[in-house]
Each structure stands twice: as C-alpha cells, then as structure tokens.
Amino acid sequence: MSATVTAVTTERRRQKICMVAYCDSPTALPPMLNEATSLASEGLEVEFLFPASGSAPLNGDSPDAGIRTRHVRLRLSGILGGRLPGLQRVLTYSEFVVKAFVHALASGADLYSAHDLPPLLPAVLAAKLRGKPVVYRAHELWSEAHPVVPFARLWRLLDRALVPLCDEVITPEDNRSRIYREEFGARRFPLTVRNCPPYRPPIRSTRLRDELRRRGVAFETVVLYQGLIDSMRCIEEVAEASRSFDEGVVLVIVGSGFGKWADPAELLAGYDRVVVLPRVAYRDLPTYTASADIGVLLYRNDCRNNYYCAPNKVFEYMMMGLPVIAATYPGMVGLVEGNAVGLCVDPASPAEIASAVNRLAADLASRAAMRANGLRLSIERYNWENEFRPLLKSYRALLSGSTSPVRT
C-alpha cells in the first residue's frame, strides 16, 4: 500500500523550474514573467529566485497558479556607503552568486533557467551539480549593453565559459542568436523568442489626451515614447526633433530614468512640444499607449546590444494600433518597414526623426494602413502565445531527458 501511494505521489509531482534573475522582481523583466505564467499554465511549477536588500522580505512565497518567489538577502549591498563603487559591485555580486547557488541547489528543481548573464553562474553550478538541464535566456548582449559597462571583459569571459555548458540558449533576436553560436560557443544555434507581449485586443482610450487637455497643451497628433528614459534611447535626439514638429504635433514621454535622467522633466523643460509623465505600472500601460497616434523607439548605435535591439515596446505599439518610428538597424528595418507598420530613421538625426513624424502626422491614410497591418500581425504572428510554443517544446524536451530540437 505504501509503495502504491509513493508511486502515485511521484507521478503527480509537478516538474519544477527554478528561474534565477539579478533584478528585484518579476515585473522588472516582463518577458520572464510572461514565460513563468505560461509555463505554470502548462502544469509546471515555477520558482523565482531574486536578490533582495535592505528591509525587503527574505522569503516572499506566494503560491499562485504554480508560481513561487524566493528572495536572496544581500547583506553586503551598500556596506561601503557609496565609497569604492567598483569594489561594492564585486562584493554584492559575489554574495549573490554564493547565496543564489545555495538556494538554487536546495530548490530541487528539474530545470534551471537563468535570465541574463549575472545569474547564469549560480544556475549553471546548481544544474551541473544536480545533473539537471540549464537554459540561458539572454535578454541582452550583457557585456555590450553599454560601451562603458562595468567589468565588460569579465562578463565576456563568463559568456565564453558558461554558454557552452548550457543545454539551451534563447535570445530575442536572430543576430544575437548568431553571436551566441559563433562567438560564445553555444552547443546549437540558439532559439530566437521575440519579446512580444501576450495578445490583447486594441482598446479605446483618451488617457494621454485627457492629461494634455488638463495641462492646457494644444495638440492634434500625439507622439509617444514609453520606457526607460536614457541617452542610449536617443531621448536628446527625439526631443531636439520636436522643435521641428509641425503645428499640433506633441511628444509625450512616459517612463523613468536614473543618474543624469533621474528627473527627466527638469532636463527636458526647455522643449515646448515635450510633455514628460512619470512611469506607470506595466498593467496600466496599454491605456496610455492606445491613446497616442504614433509610437517612437530609438537606440543609439554605440554597441551591438543596441544595433541588434529587440525591444518589446515595438510590439506593444503595434498591438495597440500605433504606427512605429524605429531605427534603421537590421532587425528593425525588416520588422517595421518590411511589415509596413511604420518608418525607420537614422536615430542620430533629429531632422530625419522630425521628417518621419511630420510625414505620418499629415498622412492619415498611411497611418490607417500601418495601424491595420500592426493589428493584424499582432493577432497572426507577433504575440507571446505564438512565441511561447517553440520555447515550451524545448523545455519539454529537456525535462524529458532528450536534447532540444536541433537548429542550424
């Protein structure tokens, strides 16, 4: 009788995936949250493993549809009081690696998934020690995320050392997949999974327009930038372009920044056609997006992470029916102009940005056609539900003990 009960219990035990990240919550990385939610809906148990500092709870368990959250307390964070920032980063990351490894090992997971490069080391160590598969979801080309990224050489060494040990590498863009295969030694050509949001029908909203009216701003066409406010997103160039916008065209920036851009409203106060709104919760963002007319998202060409950008914001614009203005980079040209959902420009040229904005603002027929294409493609192709299928197939193969499908 006991043996029968044990067999039934074992058979019913859900396979577990431990997702390790070096950010403070699942909402900080929407693609990871989408993945976890979908895996849980397929009957898998998912455990998030995140760092926490200060007074954050050590343990944030909240079982919900097969998802749990564990926090790793980083007691060395800020111990140097702002002195020797390089050493502080090393101490904090070293503590994270050790503690995340211990927690990952104790999780008893059947598969480990590292989201970006910093958590890959503890995930690989735990997976190899337990004889379990490990997946590397490389959302960024981490060592090239910025030309002055701290410890870039160390990150490149980690990529070259750890990528060949991974059972699967997943990137959001084909050129990045090629780099991980050819330069970092991935065992097989990585799986490309785009950063598309879960599908939701377009909504009707006047949220931005109501806010502009409340502020007494005259407008006819609303151009929207949403996301991180930073120089690498060409905010200066877009703001400068606004000086050449046609009458009635207004740029609204929704988001937040840090460092130089900690107070973007103050930095951009000299631009009459620019309105800055604070960051909003991700779940509320579509109501802002849907109330604009054109979406803009540009990256400065100062590293390969930007040149081969794979932003989820482009798909968010398309899903709400906004024509997109993006950079003339390989992935963006094929996506935006190849699908006739917007225009691509030189992101370093305010004049070219302004020309594209004015062209779309004046050409209602082109905007309507681009809107229709974006909405159609969001249903047919560019949604998380479609992107999740090959990812699930790979995870199922690894969990069953077989290799992931071969890709050339």
Question: pLDDT band at 148, cuts 50/70/90?
Answer: low
Question: pLDDT band at 164, cuts 50/70/90?
Answer: very high
Residues 244-303 pLDDT 10s: 999 999 999 999 998 899 999 999 999 999 999 999 988 899 999 999 999 999 999 999
Please state, for a pLDDT cut of 70, what percent of the chain lies above it: 91
Question: pLDDT band at 64, cuts 50/70/90?
Answer: low
What backbone torsions phi and psi does residue 107 show, to the nearest 5 degrees?
Answer: -70, -25
Q: Is the pLDDT of residue 404 over 80?
A: no
319 exposed, middle or buried (CB, 10 Å; 0-12, 13-18, 19+)?
buried
Mean pLDDT of the chain: 90
Q: Where are the alpha helices (DSSP H) in 163-282?
A: 174-182, 207-214, 235-241, 264-267
Question: Average pLDDT of 106-129?
Answer: 97
Q: What span, in angstroms and rounded, lies between the C-alpha atoms of 233 and 326?
A: 11
Question: pLDDT band at 143, cuts 50/70/90?
Answer: confident
Q: Nearest to residue 239, comparing CAs of 296, 287, 285?
A: 296
Tokens read off for 117: 């490069």
Residues 342-371 pLDDT 10s: 999 999 999 999 999 999 999 999 999 999
Q: What span, in angstroms and rounded, lies between the C-alpha atoms of 116 and 93?
A: 14
Please state, for a pLDDT cut of 90, what percent of the chain lies above it: 77
pLDDT at 62: 44
Phi-psi region of 82 (alpha: psi -120 to 50; beta: other; left: phi over 0): left
pLDDT at 81: 73
pLDDT at 310: 87
Q: Is the pLDDT of residue 100 over 80?
A: yes
Domains of the chain: 13-197+384-399 (3.40.50.2000), 207-380 (3.40.50.2000)
